A and B are shown apart, each in its own frame.
Chain A
Amino acid sequence: MEEIKTDYCIVGAGIAGIILASKLASSGKKILLLDQGPRYSEKDRSEFLQQGKMTLNDSADYNDNLHPDLKTETTSISNDKNSIEWKPLRLFGVGGTALHFNGTMMRPVKEDMRVRSLFGYGRDWPISYSELEPWLLKAEFEVGIAGNTDNPYASKRSGPFPMPAHEFSHYDKKYFKPALKKLNIVGHSYPRSVNSISYQNRSKCLACRACRFCPSGARYSPDRTHVPILDTLDNVEIISNVSLRKLETNSSSNEIIAAHIVRTNDKKPLLIKSKKFILALGGIETPRMLLLSADEKLHKNGLGNMGGQLGKGFSDHSIPSYHFNLGQHAGHRLGFPTMISDYFRVHSNRENQPTISIRSSPAMESSPVGTLSFSWLKNQDTFSFRQVREMIPNVVTLSAFSELEGTGTLDLDPVKKDSFGSPLARINMKMSDWDIAGYELLKEYGLKIADAMGAENISNLSPPGSGFGYHPSGTTAMGNNPDEGVCDNNLKIFGLDNLYVVSNSVFPHMGSNPPTLTIVALALRLAKHLESNSI
């Protein structure tokens, strides 16, 4: 069997794995970075964009033509009335889901990390906001975040953003901000890893709005920034199209001795021996691999699962949305909203309801504007195309990231398997009454905002659970001991001396901010920890 020996084996070449590798590389140690998906080129990006335009496929994406065997599925419990079907929206490939993410890079607020102590729900982080904050700032510089320090609801920062925020849109200035002001809410800049000015040899945003493929390179994507540097280093090797099958523990059950890998093109096995292993496989595959790697001793229920915490606390963001007919042209859209409000992240009675962050813009590209416009025009005898064409530029989207309590679970499906014969991850996603209260909050304030704008037509609020799939988190949580989590505050798996994890799966709790900035901060922090505990 083919065998590779290395110092650090990082499984998963998404944003966490790539940034971790890039920081560890300076140590001179041998680093192996693996990913199940392919490497995409600039030519691929260009072709995906062109093909999407030619075929009128507004959802064209990187993994569209990837062999189905390589897109590991998940299953979801949905026949229970308390469970909501859940499907992931991740990508496979070097760059991971950050290949197509829209660059939202918000910080947690300090209370997000102490929700159990302060409000009685969820789990506390074993580290404080003040301990994480310097790493958040480093992360903002590492990937390049455009933002202003104009958010009155933000927790304390130790420095400014590396570049100014994108200028507010016409819609923000004329409609959204004044409407919020009527409700005594401040709209502020929306931190985003899309360059507002030239940064680290990448262009400023040229407003093409095809952010998924970002022809200008203004939107951060790890395969365009960190990977080209890694490619020049002799001590770093990146192998794509390989799939981790299992981590093997030693006879004492306290160390990983090998990673069993399969090359996806010919299914030939590959054995990796490494001094340290790091799983950076995202919110689903990271816990799944820990479950699949159970041994017959200490880790018989999955690696690090002595306290039964592996797979618990599954969470995501519910992203419900309204659409309004503003009654006048809302203005043009940059491709992403330029204003958001964190008001309800600090002005929310968290004992009884979750936090939400609210953003709005001229209708998103994914919005069914035609469907809405035709449904809002009710003339039984005449179909007025003219009125529809007049209405379409007036339609706006208002949506929220809504925090969840984290009552979902992830385990192994007893029946369904991946193309290599291993059980798939099975999600049981639930929304508690407390979670639903966040939905009700948007329902109430969405209508108030629409009213403050003078909206003529308002859609129904999309159902609870809308938008699931972007931010799976929480199932290999950090904790002080195995009864609280799966890894310690340095992301080392309990009971194993050389296995670490870094992804949103380590979040004990996720507030109403998308997780990516925190993931990068944790990757930078882990790199520092590993360097200071050198092999």
Chain B
Amino acid sequence: MGKITRREFNLLTTKVIASITLYQFIGCTDEVKLISKGEENLKKLVIAFGPWPMIDRSIAEDFANRFIEVSHLSQNYLKKSVELVNNIANKLPKNAIALESLDLRKFSFEENEFILTLCKQLYNLVEVRYYISKMPQFGECQVDALFYTKSPS
């Protein structure tokens, strides 16, 4: 995957998200409220699509909060995608967490594209991958430094 760094990848994917949702932004609606609502709904999506089961809901929420904060800092992600995020969130079960699957026929083409892009971005992140692979947390020294030599089962 060569020269594309993860940061570049993230920028690239969020640009895609921004571009497909631009037309859906409602210009006359109060922007602050939209962003605020979008944040909550984006958080809902991250928790629903992520790998954390109910028992780890606090981990999921902490991750989602940081994910949203970073998205805000890096570009107009939420601002331009908020309507789309809201539509998708409204089609998910209440308090959805670690969904097993999603019936894509319930979503529009743009919503499908958004979900796919968001999920790729999410599951590329080391923190998510390590969680799924049951790896010790990144950056934490290990008492059993030979854990990597053992069978993962």
Contacts and interface: CB of A to CB of B under 8 A. Distances in A.
Interface in A372-428: 373-374, 380-386, 388-389, 392-393
A370 interface: yes
B120 A334 contact: no
Given A55-B70, A58-B126, A368 B148 contact: no
Interface in B1-49: 1-7, 9, 49
B127 interface: yes
B2 A393 contact: no
B9 to A, nearest CB: 6
A55 B125 CA distance: 11
A206 B142 contact: yes
Nearest to A212: B139
B152 A57 contact: no
Nearest to A53: B139
Contacts of A388: 119, 123
Contacts of B153: 329
Interface residues of A, number: 65
Interface string A60-74: 000000000000000
Interface string B118-145: 0111111111110011111011111011
A462 B2 contact: yes
B116 interface: yes
Interface in B76-120: 98-105, 115-116, 119-120
Contacts, number: 171
A370 to B, nearest CB: 3
B66 A59 contact: no
Interface in A451-492: 462-463, 465-469
Contact of A385 (B49, B134, B151): B49
Contacts of B125: 56, 58, 370
A87 B69 CA distance: 30
Contact of A393 (B127, B132, B139, B150): B132
A174 B125 CA distance: 26
Main secondary structure of the interface of A (DSSP, over half): loop
B133 A393 contact: yes
A321 B142 CA distance: 29
Interface string A322-366: 010000011111100010000000000000000000000011011
A174 B121 CA distance: 30
B138 to A, nearest CB: 6
A374 to B, nearest CB: 5
Nearest to B135: A332
B138 A216 contact: no
Interface stretch (A91-99, A150-158, A162-170, A440-448): A162-170
Contact of A321 (B2, B6, B73, B136): B2
Which range contains the number of B residues in contact with the other chain?
35 or more
Given A56-B125, A210-B139, A370-B124, A381 B145 contact: no
Contacts of B122: 370
B2 A53 contact: no
Contacts of B101: 382-386
A267 interface: no
B138 A210 contact: yes
A39 interface: no
A374 B49 CA distance: 13
A209 B135 CA distance: 10
A466 B1 contact: yes
A208 interface: yes
A381 B103 contact: yes
A209 B139 contact: yes
A336 B124 CA distance: 18
A220 B63 CA distance: 32
A213 interface: yes
A505 B148 CA distance: 37
A369 interface: yes
A338 B4 CA distance: 24
Contact of A382 (B4, B104, B132, B141): B104
B104 A380 contact: yes
B133 A392 contact: yes
B151 A331 contact: yes
B142 A329 contact: no
A208 B139 CA distance: 5
A215 interface: yes
A393 B152 contact: yes
B142 A208 contact: yes
Nearest to A369: B129
B133 A332 contact: yes
Contacts of B121: 370
A319 interface: yes
Contacts of A213: 139
15 contacts: A206-B142, A206-B145, A321-B1, A329-B153, A332-B135, A332-B148, A369-B129, A381-B104, A382-B101, A383-B101, A385-B101, A388-B119, A392-B133, A465-B3, A466-B2
